[in-house]
Chains A and B, each alone.
Chain A
Amino acid sequence: MDLSSFDPVVLITTMMIAATPILLAALGELVAEKAGVLNLGVEGMMIFGAICGFMIAVNTGSPFLGFVAAAVGGAVLSLLFGLLTQYLLSNQVATGLALTLFGLGLSALLGQSYAGIKPPSTEKLDLPVLSDLPVVGPILFSHDLMVYFAIALVAGVWAVLKYTRAGLILRAVGENHDAAHALGYKVVRIRLLAIMFGGACAGLGGAYLSLVRVPQWTEGMTAGAGWIALAIVVFASWKPWRVLLGAWLFGGVTFLQLYLQAAGVSIPVEYLSMSPYVITIVVLVIMSADKNKAAMNAPASLGKQFHATH
């Protein structure tokens, strides 16, 4: 095998970029699911965030405002889901699927006049000395800010869920909404906030696609990334750091196989193409080997409707 043209630094830096959209979306979904809400509309919120971010970034010339708009857009769309499932008690699975369809259609409509436009480029970190270091520089110190933001958000979500009172309440709502309600917590309000956080994260992930990773608007450009994000939450057994691992693994292997093909490595393409999925399945099998542990991690009230009867 000829590995002379193989550059691990390029591989790792690109992998981090490739993983960022699904990382953000999966992290948002994790918080929603931790609160007991199964929102299958991730794909719809992502694509809606992608077009919102793109429109605002193009019109204002500021990628930062674009990302803000994407987060707001994603949150607003998720609020629709929240109102339907939390107040009108509609079925979460069906409503989530409808949200995906709605998001795809609405974004296609909004984006009609935005095809073929180049968005303003997102600034990359450029620290004196540090960014120029060999190996470490490109991997750690020369990404665009969203990559760092996504990783910081993982740490933030982990710390909040694990160490703060707010995190404890959120988990309580997800584990047993009746008990949480009996204790006087506003189950519906907390869930709405979690849903909106999920929507905002998905929107950011979508905007990362349209503003950084592919820099363009194309209808349906998320092409299933939202579904992968949903799978990663399960893969991570609802743990934030494992979401990071899952996203990097999936993003990394997806890019790795393309990279190996381009490098002319003589592994049959079929194996390379299926590798992201095979590795995901293998890891899932390994992680679920301990049956009790894996099952315990799913929030007990996930996907269940809550209606305060008193």
Chain B
Amino acid sequence: MKSVKSILAGATLALGLGGAAYAEDPLKVGFVYVGPIGDFGWSYEHDQGRLAVVEHFGDAVETSYVESVPEGADAERVLTQMALSGHDLIFTTSFGYMDPTINVAAKFPDVKFEHATGYKNADNVSTYSARFYEGRAVLGTIAGHMTETNQVGYIASFPIPEVIRGINSAYIHAQKVNPDVEFKIVWVYTWFDPAKEADAATALIEQGVDVIMQHTDSPAAMTIAEERGIMAFGQASDMAQFGPTARLSSIIDDWAPYYIARTQAVIDGTWESTSTWDGIKEGMVEIGEFSDRVPAEVQAEAQAISDSIVSGEYHAFTGPLNKQDGSVWLAEGETADDGTLAGMDFYVEGVEGDIPN
């Protein structure tokens, strides 16, 4: 499918070039997605951001996208093709595109690249990500209150800092309100595979889990939670329609303002290589509406955490916190610095199991 789309994109571009000689050259913005835009999760929200760019700039920009691009060598091919076909700005929207982005960017110094959730920058490569862990703090609080079996299931994708941060933040806040809570973590090693995500949810439910959190892209786990009568949270997108009863709240990614701002920067000629890491305050992370199923006092508590993160009074990683092995990480009142968070490779005390290498 993706090759067909690329060919189509190429064809449209060729047509576009023909017309460009007469009209003012529109800025070409490309997007590379790890899943299909219809995943109703991660890639879906990035594409909503792309559509916002289209709406905001109208004819001044021309966007194209390639979906379901595997992380790794194939990404490099897709990126090269995009750069060759005259794109001025390319957003690569998955962690695994980090090295391909850096490699291709080195070959095309005039093309601006923006890589999501990574940590490698170059003169023409910016990085951007959202502080999803802030959202996890809010959801973790709800999970801690809502679980009756004290077992929270967590479907994790790949053992990268972003996912580990999410697990830690959710655990810390669930444990704060419910000292008996335990997290059962399943690594599925994929961002998008509905059948596997559903199987992971089933495996967790069989182990007595009654609340599921996920860091994968499809709403499969939400569907299983609905079917089995347990609770879950929307991830990346609201996912309400997949679990009308099961869904407690959600983390929604809103990339639109960032995409518009960056596109504007290229048009104005003010684009610079930056590292953006925005959270609830800036609106890049949104907390979905709380379900009626969540008691009012829990809603209030969750809202209070969200509010205090926004106001800057509270940081999701505030000491005293120990690492899993019991060594001190953060002293009383100390908060984590971004450097440690960006490279987080350890569980906090209380989380069971080992992080795969």
Residues of A within 8 A of B (CB): 5, 7, 10, 14, 18, 21, 101, 104-105, 108, 111-112, 115-118, 121, 209, 213-216, 218-225, 254-255, 258-259, 261-264, 266, 268-270, 273
B109 lies within 8 A of chain A by Cβ: no
Cα A221 to Cα B217 with chains together (Å)? 11
| A99 → B minimal CB distance (Å) | 12
| B182 → A minimal CB distance (Å) | 9
Check A264 against B352 for contact (C-beta < 8 Å). yes
Check B68 against A10 for contact (C-beta < 8 Å). no
Check A225 against B204 for contact (C-beta < 8 Å). no
- Chain A residue numbers with a CB within 8 Å of B209 are 262
| A134 → B minimal CB distance (Å) | 17
B79 lies within 8 A of chain A by Cβ: no
**Contact string against A for B residues 155-184, beta-carbon threshold 8 Å, 1 for contact and 0 otherwise:** 000000000000000000000000000001
- Chain A residue numbers with a CB within 8 Å of B207 are 5, 259, 262-263
| B318 → A minimal CB distance (Å) | 28
**Residues of chain B in range 182-196 having any CB-CB distance to chain A below 8 Å:** 184-190, 192-196
Residues of B within 8 A of A (CB): 1, 3-4, 35-40, 68, 153, 184-190, 192-196, 198-200, 202-204, 206-209, 218-220, 223-224, 226-227, 241-242, 352-354, 356-357
Q: A273 and B189 in contact (CB under 8 A), knowing A219-B38, A221-B195, A264-B184?
A: yes
- Chain A residue numbers with a CB within 8 Å of B202 are 14, 255
| B70 → A minimal CB distance (Å) | 11
- Chain A residue numbers with a CB within 8 Å of B204 are 262
- Beyond A218-B36, A220-B35, 15 additional pairs, beta carbon < 8 A: A5-B207, A18-B195, A21-B195, A111-B38, A116-B40, A116-B219, A118-B223, A209-B194, A213-B198, A214-B223, A216-B219, A220-B36, A223-B192, A263-B203, A268-B354
Q: A209 and B223 in contact (CB under 8 A), knowing A259-B203, A262-B206, A269-B187?
A: no
| B265 → A minimal CB distance (Å) | 32
Check A218 against B199 for contact (C-beta < 8 Å). no
Check A261 against B203 for contact (C-beta < 8 Å). yes
Cross-interface CB contact of A262 among B3, B203, B356, cutoff 8 Å: B203
- Chain A residue numbers with a CB within 8 Å of B188 are 258
Cα A214 to Cα B199 with chains together (Å)? 8
| B24 → A minimal CB distance (Å) | 33
Cα A223 to Cα B68 with chains together (Å)? 10
Q: A116 and B241 in contact (CB under 8 A), knowing A259-B203, A262-B204?
A: yes
Cross-interface CB contact of A219 among B39, B203, B226, B352, cutoff 8 Å: B39
Cα A266 to Cα B352 with chains together (Å)? 10
- Chain B residue numbers with a CB within 8 Å of A220 are 1, 35-36, 38-39, 68, 192
Cross-interface CB contact of A223 among B195, B200, B206, B353, cutoff 8 Å: B195
Q: A112 and B38 in contact (CB under 8 A), knowing A101-B4, A214-B194, A264-B184?
A: yes
Q: Which of B185, B200, B202 has the most CB of A within 10 A?
A: B202
Check A221 against B206 for contact (C-beta < 8 Å). no
Cα A107 to Cα B242 with chains together (Å)? 20
Q: List 29 A-B contacts (CB under 8 A).
A: A10-B206, A14-B206, A18-B195, A108-B36, A108-B38, A112-B38, A116-B241, A116-B242, A121-B227, A213-B195, A214-B195, A215-B223, A215-B227, A218-B38, A218-B40, A219-B37, A219-B38, A220-B1, A220-B36, A220-B38, A220-B39, A221-B218, A224-B193, A225-B195, A258-B188, A261-B186, A268-B354, A268-B356, A269-B187
